[in-house]
Chain A
Amino acid sequence: MKNLLRVPLAACAALALAAGCRTPPKAPPAEDDGTIVESEFPGGLEAPGDLPLGNIDFSKLAPVVPPAAAGIAPVYFSYNESAIPASEQGKVANAALFLMQNPGVVLLVEGNCDERGTTEYNMSLGEFRAQSVRNALVAQGIEPARIQTVSYGEEKPAVPGGGEAVWRLNRRGDFAFFQR
């Protein structure tokens, strides 16, 4: 029953926010009723405002899906390595060609890891992988300002589960294109 009551409460808070209320009311603390409070701040935390100048807000850009003929595919890495294997270099060349043919497109290179290792370590490793791809694209003539990197560490596996057959698909750099 308490969960059912929380839904209209959250809806009311959202309406209050839409009406100009800047500070969302805090939800009443739960008793020990075995439930989880869906949000301490019904209606959500106040939005943080726009990103500071110089940052690309990718959440506000339209994703671009390259045609299959462009040959865009994830770049796979060896275990605990951030160097691009020779067998994967062609995929980077394909991405560079697509960016050259589409000057209004920007790229977010997403570095990912398999689940082995700690969260923080994999975040660094994913960043190095993304930067390896970015550096290779810049070396092929792409303007650095058109490419940003992001690491998801082990948090966004392409395939859930364990074992080398799964891990090799999760050690990757993904290409996410957006219309500027």
Chain B
Amino acid sequence: MSPTRFLPALALLACAPALVPGAARAQSAPIVVSGEAVPKGKQALSLDALRGDGSDAARLFLQVLRKDLELSGWFVPTDNPGGNVSLAGSVRTSVSGLSATVTATWMAGTRTRTWSKEATTAGVRDAAHAVADAVVADVAGKKPMASSRILFVGRRAGAAETEIYACDADGGRPSAVTSDRKLCLSPNWNPGANSFLYTTWLTGTPAVMQVDLGAGKRTYVSTQPGMNQGAVKNPRTGAAAIVLSRSGMVDLYLVDPATRRVLDRLTRGRDSEASPTWSPDGASLAYVSDAGGVPRIYTMALAGRQPRRLVYDGTIRENVAPEWGPDGRIAFCGRSGGRYRVYVVDPSKTPAVPEAVSPADGTDYEDPSWAPDGRHLVCTRTAGRQRFLVVLDTLGDPPRNIPMPIAGDWYLPSWSDNGVRTLP
């Protein structure tokens, strides 16, 4: 059930006690049942008893928390009482900046859970994201995503070059990470989300660079002649899969980021490979190859090295830009009817049947990247000549734009895995 369909039910719920004395209890029965039987269900989450002290920090906290809970896809926040779950507590300024205490009470009142969070003034957004993640994990029992971040490429209107940018999962706090005024592309978070790899043309030719966000440092990872593209670290070994053209052909290689040494060549031949992505256990990768004359996605176990074509759907002419998600499904971009759409497929199924998750609306959806909740994807949407970021929901909520405060092209997103943060 979509949030918009749900809102009239909430309004009715709010009026019901006045209309029918004594009916409050009956009307507060679950509006949307959450559970295995209804995977697309949402819970009404009452926020009427969660109050701030009127300060800017408290207002920001409550605003971010509410938006995070809504964007999780599992809740419909409401200011009316009587939801499936109620959040109560106080958010007020403190010596350190902000102090928040939030208690969740389940409808029947049989279970409660309380979280406390202190934050500096600069950390208000992070604190709200952390509480939202705790609510999603404990109340909905789902993987959260509010504390994760999104990297992407930005080209400001009129600029020839690009920079790497980052924003929160809700699109807040957009910021430039690089400021080189050179071409740069293909940012990919490393496991843990404290660093990332990207390709830069800083010295005139492409090189893969690693940025350590904590220290503000960066180091060369691959400086092979020709292409150095699409680098992504193995979540288990740390080795980077990179597209290189050092042999004169475009192939996949394994590179040790610490020594820049090429460890192995994963593909050979005259075909071109692109866009490697690792399985969650690091034992396999998916990538694009034009071995069949058309770009298609293949999977390959590191042990064995036997490529296996992923999709056999004849209506999807090309399939490119795969990303292996945290729950084992692969998102990719396919061309159908002259337009690119985002599809999701389970590689463990035979046959693997792709399901479209972006609308067929006459625009192009490309470069999907999974949120750590395994439910949402961020991708590039091209409408006319404009590229911008859109979040897709694999369970059917409508696409959500991530608006940027300045004009430009925003594309090639990478969503971090840093979705779970524990509260003190």
Q: Which residues of A contact B (CB under 8 A)?
A: 23-24, 26-32, 34-41, 44-46, 48-49, 51-52, 55-60, 108, 118-121, 123-124, 127-128, 131, 148-152, 155-156, 161-162, 176
Contact = CB atoms under 8 A, between A and B. Distances in A.
A118 B207 CA distance: 20
A121 to B, nearest CB: 6
Contacts of B202: 48, 59
Given A40-B177, A52-B260, A119 B412 contact: yes
A120 B123 CA distance: 37
A148 B225 CA distance: 7
Nearest to A38: B176
B250 A45 contact: no
A37 B174 contact: yes
B227 A151 contact: yes
B366 A45 contact: no
B185 A119 contact: yes
B215 interface: yes
A128 B243 CA distance: 13
A51 B201 contact: no
Contacts of B340: 118
Contacts of A27: 175
Contacts of B344: none
A158 B155 CA distance: 16
B275 interface: yes
Contacts of B326: none
Contact of A58 (B203, B215, B219): B203
Given A58-B205, A123-B185, 12 more contacts: A29-B126, A34-B405, A36-B175, A38-B175, A45-B179, A49-B220, A52-B260, A55-B205, A118-B295, A118-B367, A123-B229, A152-B183
Nearest to B250: A124
B274 interface: yes
Given A51-B223, A52-B260, A45 B173 contact: no
Interface string B192-226: 00000000011111110101010111111001011
Contacts of A131: 226, 245, 248
A124 B176 contact: no
5 contacts: A23-B217, A39-B176, A127-B250, A131-B245, A149-B245
Contacts of B60: 31-32
A45 B177 contact: yes
B376 interface: no
Interface string B103-134: 00000000000000000001111100000000
Given A51-B220, A151-B206, A32 B172 contact: yes
B218 A29 contact: no
Name, among B243, B245, B320, the residue most crowded by chain A CB atoms within 10 Å (CB to CB).
Answer: B245
Contact of A127 (B125, B165, B245): B245
Nearest to A162: B385
A37 B211 CA distance: 18
Given A30-B173, A59-B203, A45 B320 contact: no
Contacts of B172: 30, 32
A135 to B, nearest CB: 8
Contacts of B63: 32
Name, among A51, A123, A149, A161, the residue most crowded by chain B CB atoms within 10 Å (CB to CB).
Answer: A123
Contact of A150 (B175, B204, B366): B204
Name, among A45, A56, A155, the residue most crowded by chain B CB atoms within 10 Å (CB to CB).
Answer: A45
B51 to A, nearest CB: 20
B353 to A, nearest CB: 23
Interface in B258-313: 260, 272, 274-275, 288, 295
Contacts of B174: 30, 36-37
A166 B27 CA distance: 63
A123 B274 contact: yes
B411 A119 contact: yes
A4 to B, nearest CB: 16
